[in-house]
């Protein structure tokens, strides 16, 4: 329902009503918009009791009335910010648990009593979840007024924190379900817990003084250009400098600290300054996106230079609205902190914001609330009543989806691509022949082969469309990324394209760093990278990069510019740029440690380490010098956080493209080892090498067999025609950089050190007179002990030797400090022992020893005769591997549920009568979430059973898993494409 009509004022002829208005504890933005709604209710003669944690002056400076009552209570915490630009996801969930979950029973009891005592006619929430439940318990109707809800925001945080926090989201959504309907503000996020919605215009605070009056008070003439700095709290340790501003500009600083010293061209505003008046007196605004800043910038037609916030999931939707009305310019955080403001500010004042919609949302909302309080019904009867989140995700999300914004929906809430068809920003054409014809029409392929791969054809088609995108005024997220990409390339010059797939860990998993044999399958989903190198004088530079070089008075220097598609899926910046000279430390390339710190400066651009880090590795390891500018476009269909090596596919595709463009001859194996250095030393993730090796060396429909000592490829194992592997995503985000993976790896290396020391001790005892002589040991036994005393890889220890001599040597757990005192070091170059942390040792050490044996057995079974016994044995090995992972602490509720569903399907009566089709499943990769690998018979019934498992998982959790099915060639097999855009002969084009 949409309400657009102009409302002259909320009628004061209605009976005197009492409103209880709950305000979330997330910043002042909510409080300021509540003020506007409350002001109109009070003007109509009603009492408004505001429940808030915000300071009184936010309300009393705008409303002086005996009908305003302020009750200082904080019932939710919002998002906890590590600094002005970064949300701390784990701290946010922990704070919410402390604020709203632990004392929930007490909160409900208190609020019900209070609502009864004030005789509230209606509860209004912006957007405190428990307020809706308290209203229901008190028998009072409730309405929410907001542009986002906390179940949507926290859902993405749960992926980082783990499945045990998911109950928070369910509880919040159930609380909201007691709300009668939602008054939805512009710039809204998907809010699946609400079904009945009434849309209203922007809620905007009014002016008190004119632009002229404010400038006269400040003593500033109308010829001076003013930018208002509005961050609601500035980054720690930030020092503002005079040269940040263009000549003749002044900056009004909101929220500056009392001790902060400012240059002469910066003016500090009082903490209780009425911001709308100063916005009206300014020519543009520099700040972070929030509902208040965006709505008022649009209403006052004030150009807005904004900087992204990490994990602030409301931001993409507000930014879309801001950019749609041509009112926004994005500033890179690095340029904010280093003071490179001028090109952004000068660009902003050239904008002509064009928002012409209503700005009386406060008045309209107040009218709806009054009508609701006296009995009018805005909700549909058929969908009223409590709804669980499981139901709300599926139906509510689909009902309220906004075309063009799908890419901005956090992964945990999004339905899978296989159901909704949401993909990366490429043109989807069903027929390969049509794609092939289109590709050859658009590009001349000077080198390489498309191999009939449809996603490569689709990627080339998307490249061909960039010219039209560049001149398009549409500003959806897809267009936004493509527009940045369109500015990358000189279309008259050659472009190189590389492709690298993700991988499904069939067997081997985390035993790779212990030297195991692993079996890995390259999947159908892959990353494409397009690269072009140009002389710096001919390189197409983005405006802010060009302005930076001009400001420094330098001749054109080599620059790296990167565009990464799909940035909104991870709430990160879509672009990255740097001078290639930044990689130099004097006359040598910078160290890996310095590079790691360099890319960690801005969390929203940390992703660039996977791409740009390739260049530094080539400089350090191969002595390559990059004298030309480089443009890179990265487009990956390998989903992130699902344990299928999205990072490895990006690294391998990038290095393959750079090598091709620069004429470097690097074997697939060596390329994979170089990519591992990117991830280990620059990204800082302690992964093994199997991911990169599979992405580089794999072949379609074959398993790559590799002994990770460090990376000996044994060959390719044909997948028998009657056997099929699937991957099923659990929806729980996997991260190889997470604490669980790292601590398990440390435990395994501790176990190896302890086994080596135990073997040395046995040898020394056997050599002493107290324990006999060396002759008492058989020659074979002596040689075995010598080998074990110098054990390079745990997987070289046979299971029977482990059981015979060492199982009792290893403790279940050990404190880091205790281990370091006794053993000095665990000899792993990519992990560090925390002295205060307790590590599990026995299970992480046992897993690779037995896993290596399981993988060898699995490989042998694949070449055996086709039989049910063969498939049953393959499945049993997967199950054993899964439970060994769990013993290490790397399991998760989601992956365990999927394995149980496979077991239920396998042992169902119908499966037994049909000779069975699914035989086993295991968690993959680094564990703690991610994807489950399933083995089964290659037949239609197996595919049907996989889809049934997908549906059962959705019914149980509300999440529809992504299914990985199919395979594709690795980067080495694909090679590279060298292409040139065809020149049109049509004079009308």
Would you state the pLDDT for residue 237? 63
The pLDDT score that the predictor gives to residue 14 is 67
Do residues 659 and 674 lie in contact, with contact meaning Cβ atoms separated by under 8 Å? no
Q: What is the DSSP string of 885-927?
A: HHHHT---HHHHHHHHHHHHHHHSHHHHHTT-SEEEEEE-TT-
Burial class (CB within 10 angstroms; exposed 0-12, middle 13-18, buried 19+) of 541:
buried
The answer to which of 56-60, 154-158, 362-366, 650-654 has the lowest mean pLDDT is 154-158
CA dist., res. 231 & res. 212, Å (int):
24
Residue 400 is predicted with a pLDDT of: 32
Residues 529/630, Cβ–Cβ less than 8 Å: no
Whole-number pLDDT of residue 861: 95
- Copy the structure tokens of residue 272: 């209780």
What's the pLDDT score for residue 877?
A: 97
CA–CA gap between residue 810 and residue 814 (Å, rounded): 9
Buried b (16+ CB within 10 A) or exposed e, 372-382: bbeeeebbeee
* Mean pLDDT for the stretch of residues 112-132: 97
Q: Is 691 a catalytic residue?
A: yes
Which residues, 6+ apart, have CB-to-CB distance to 900 below 8 Å? Answer: none
Confidence label for 192 from pLDDT (cuts 50, 70 and 90): confident
Dist. CA 383–CA 80, nearest whole Å: 34
* Secondary structure letter of residue 654 according to DSSP: H
Report how far Cα 403 is from the mean position of its chain's Cα atoms.
21
Is residue 419 over pLDDT 60? no
CA distance 441 to 38: 61
- Residue ranges and CATH numbers for the domains of the chain are 18-203+365-400 (3.40.50.2000), 211-356 (3.40.50.2000), 443-719 (3.30.230.10), 739-763+781-965 (3.30.70.890)
Q: Give pLDDT tens digits for 435-479.
A: 666 677 789 999 999 988 989 999 998 898 887 655 454 444 455
When pLDDT is averaged across residues 981-988 and rounded to a whole number, the result is 61
The candidate with the shortest Cα–Cα distance to 483, out of 268, 316, 633, 319, is 633
DSSP at 70: E
Mean pLDDT of the chain: 85
User: Tokens at residue 309, please?
Assistant: 């916030």
Residue 47 pLDDT greater than 80, yes or no:
yes
Q: Is 846 exposed, middle or buried (0-12, 13-18, 19+ CB in 10 A)?
A: buried
Q: How far apart are CA 717 and CA 427, in angstroms?
A: 34
Spatial neighbors of 90 by CB under 8 A, at least 6 apart, are 157, 160, 161
Helices (H) and strands (E) in the chain, counts: 37, 32
Indicate whether 875 pLDDT > 60.
Answer: yes
Identify which has the larger pLDDT, 400 or 269: 269
Please tell me the predicted confidence (pLDDT) of residue 394. 36
Contact of 23 with 51, CB cutoff 8 Å: yes
- The answer to whether residues 255 and 231 touch, using CB atoms and an 8 Å cutoff, is yes
* pLDDT of 987 above 70: no
Q: Taking residues 897-903, what's their average pLDDT?
A: 96
3-state secondary structure 691-715: HHHHHHHCCCCEEEEEECCCCEEEE
* Token digits of residue 720: 């028998």
The pLDDT value given to residue 915: 63
The strand pair at 68-72 and 47-52 is best described as parallel
Which of 625, 690, 683, 696 is closest to 657 using CA atoms?
696
What average pLDDT score do residues 275-293 get?
Answer: 93
pLDDT at residue 413 greater than cutoff 50 = no
Residue 890 tokens read as 């790397």
For the ranges 95-99, 484-488, 531-535, which has the lowest average pLDDT? 484-488
| Cα 417 from chain centre | 16
- Whole-angstrom CA distances from 560 to 576, 627, 974 are 8, 11, 25
Question: Cβ distance 410 to 156 under 8 Å?
Answer: yes
Neighbouring C-beta atoms of residue 662, cutoff 10 Å: 17
Q: Whole-model pTM?
A: 0.72
Which of these is catalytic: 406, 691, 729, 828?
691
Residue 430 banded pLDDT, cuts 50, 70, 90: very low
**Spatial contact of 30 and 51, defined as CB atoms under 8 Å apart:** no
Going by pLDDT thresholds of 50, 70 and 90, the confidence category of residue 911 is: low
Contacts with 828 (C-beta within 8 Å, 6 or more apart), sequence order: 513, 686, 745, 746, 749
Residue in 259, 308, 252 with CA at minimum distance from that of residue 280: 252
Q: Is 826 helix (H, G, I), strand (E, B) or coil?
A: coil
Instruction: Note the pLDDT tens digit of each residue in 227-278.
Output: 999 987 665 567 899 999 999 999 999 877 777 789 999 999 988 888 999 9
């Amino acid at each position: 329902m949409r309400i657009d009509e102009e409302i002259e004022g909320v009628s004061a002829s209605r009976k005197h009503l009492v409103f209880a208005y709950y305000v979330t504890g997330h910043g002042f933005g909510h409080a300021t918009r509540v003020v506007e709604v409350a002001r109109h209710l009070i003007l109509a003669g009603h009492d408004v009791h505001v429940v808030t944690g915000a300071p009184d002056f936010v309300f009393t400076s705008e409303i002086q009335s005996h009908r305003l009552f302020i009750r200082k209570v904080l019932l939710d915490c919002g998002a906890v910010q590590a600094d002005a630009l970064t949300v701390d996801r784990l701290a946010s969930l922990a704070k919410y648990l402390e604020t709203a979950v632990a004392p929930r029973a007490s909160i409900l009891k208190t609020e019900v009593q209070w609502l009864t005592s004030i005789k509230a006619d209606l509860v209004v929430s912006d957007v405190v979840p428990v307020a809706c439940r308290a209203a229901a318990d008190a028998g009072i109707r409730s309405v929410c007024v907001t542009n986002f809800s906390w179940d949507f925001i926290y859902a993405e945080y749960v992926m980082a924190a783990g499945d045990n926090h998911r109950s928070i989201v369910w509880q919040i959504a159930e609380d909201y379900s007691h709300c009668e309907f939602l008054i939805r503000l512009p710039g809204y996020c998907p809010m699946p817990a609400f079904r009945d919605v009434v849309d209203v215009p922007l809620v905007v605070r009014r002016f008190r003084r004119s632009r002229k009056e404010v400038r006269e008070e400040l003593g500033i003439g109308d010829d001076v250009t003013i930018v208002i700095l509005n961050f609601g709290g500035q980054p720690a340790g930030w020092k503002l400098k005079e040269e940040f501003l263009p000549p003749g500009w002044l900056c009004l600083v909101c929220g500056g600290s009392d001790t902060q010293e400012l240059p002469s061209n910066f003016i500090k505003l009082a903490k209780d300054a009425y911001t709308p008046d100063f916005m009206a007196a300014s020519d543009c605004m520099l700040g972070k996106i929030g509902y208040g800043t965006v709505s008022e910038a649009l209403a006052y037609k004030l150009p807005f230079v904004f900087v992204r916030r990490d994990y602030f999931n409301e931001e993409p939707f507000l930014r879309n609205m801001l950019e749609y009305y041509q009112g926004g310019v994005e500033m890179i955080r690095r340029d904010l902190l280093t003071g490179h403001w001028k090109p952004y500010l000068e660009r902003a004042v050239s904008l002509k914001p064009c928002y012409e919609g209503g700005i009386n949302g406060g008045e309209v909302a107040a009218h709806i609330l009054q009508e609701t309080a006296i009995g009018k019904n805005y909700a549909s009867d058929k969908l009223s009543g409590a709804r669980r989140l499981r139901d709300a995700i599926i139906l509510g999300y689909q009902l309220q989806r906004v075309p063009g914004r799908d890419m901005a929906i956090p992964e945990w809430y999004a339905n899978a691509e296989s159901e909704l068809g949401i993909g990366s920003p490429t043109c989807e054409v069903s027929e390969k022949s049509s794609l092939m014809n289109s590709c050859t029409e658009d590009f001349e392929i000077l080198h390489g082969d498309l191999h009939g791969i449809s996603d490569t054809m689709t990627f080339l088609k998307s490249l061909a469309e960039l010219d039209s995108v560049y001149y398009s005024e549409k500003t959806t997220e897809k267009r936004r990324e493509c527009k940045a990409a369109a500015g990358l390339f000189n279309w008259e010059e050659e472009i190189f394209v590389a492709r690298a797939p993700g991988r499904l860990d069939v067997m081997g998993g985390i035993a790779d760093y212990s030297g195991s044999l692993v079996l890995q399958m390259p999947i159908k989903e892959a990353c494409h990278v397009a690269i072009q190198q140009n002389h710096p004088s001919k390189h197409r530079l983005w405006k802010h990069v060009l302005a930076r070089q001009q400001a420094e008075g330098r001749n054109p220097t080599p620059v790296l510019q990167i565009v990464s598609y799909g940035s909104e899926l991870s709430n990160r910046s879509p672009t990255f740029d740097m001078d290639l000279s930044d990689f130099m430390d004097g006359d040598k390339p910078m160290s890996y440690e310095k590079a790691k710190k360099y890319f960690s400066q801005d969390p929203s651009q940390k992703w660039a380490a996977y791409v740009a880090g390739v260049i530094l590795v080539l400089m350090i390891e191969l002595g390559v010098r990059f004298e030309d500018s480089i443009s890179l476009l990265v487009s990956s269909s390998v989903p992130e956080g699902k344990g299928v090596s999205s990072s490895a596919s990006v690294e391998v595709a990038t290095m393959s493209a750079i090598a091709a463009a620069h004429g470097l001859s690097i074997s697939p194996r060596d390329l994979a080892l170089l990519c591992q250095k990117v991830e280990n030393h620059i990204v800082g993730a302690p992964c093994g090498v199997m991911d990169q090796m599979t992405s580089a060396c794999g072949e379609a429909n074959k398993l790559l067999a590799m002994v990770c000592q460090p990376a000996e490829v044994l060959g390719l194992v044909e997948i028998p025609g009657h056997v099929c592997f699937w991957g099923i995503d659990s929806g729980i985000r996997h991260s190889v950089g997470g604490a669980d993976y790292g601590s398990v790896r440390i435990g395994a290396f501790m176990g190896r050190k302890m086994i080596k020391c135990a073997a040395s001790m046995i040898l020394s005892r056997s050599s002493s007179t107290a324990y006999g002589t060396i002759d008492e040991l058989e020659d074979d036994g002596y040689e075995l002990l010598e080998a074990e005393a110098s054990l390079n890889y745990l997987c070289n220890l046979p299971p029977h030797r482990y059981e015979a001599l060492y199982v009792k040597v290893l403790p279940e757990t050990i404190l880091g400090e205790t281990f370091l005192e006794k053993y000095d070091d665990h000899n792993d170059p990519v992990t560090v022992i925390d002295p205060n942390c307790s590590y599990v040792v026995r299970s992480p050490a046992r897993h690779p020893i037995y896993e290596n044996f399981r993988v060898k057995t699995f490989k042998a079974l694949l070449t055996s005769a086709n039989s049910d016994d063969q498939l049953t044995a393959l499945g049993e090995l997967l199950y054993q591997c899964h439970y060994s992972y769990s013993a290490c602490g790397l399991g998760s509720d989601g992956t365990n549920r999927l394995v149980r569903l496979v077991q239920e399907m396998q042992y169902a009566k119908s499966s037994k009568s049909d000779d069975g089709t699914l035989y086993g499943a295991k968690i993959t990769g680094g564990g703690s979430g991610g994807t489950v690998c399933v083995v089964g018979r290659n037949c239609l019934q197996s595919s049907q059973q996989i889809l049934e498992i997908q549906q059962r998982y959705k019914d149980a959790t509300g999440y529809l898993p992504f299914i990985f099915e199919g395979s594709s060639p690795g980067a080495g097999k694909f090679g590279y494409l060298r292409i040139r855009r065809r020149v049109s002969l049509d004079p009308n084009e």
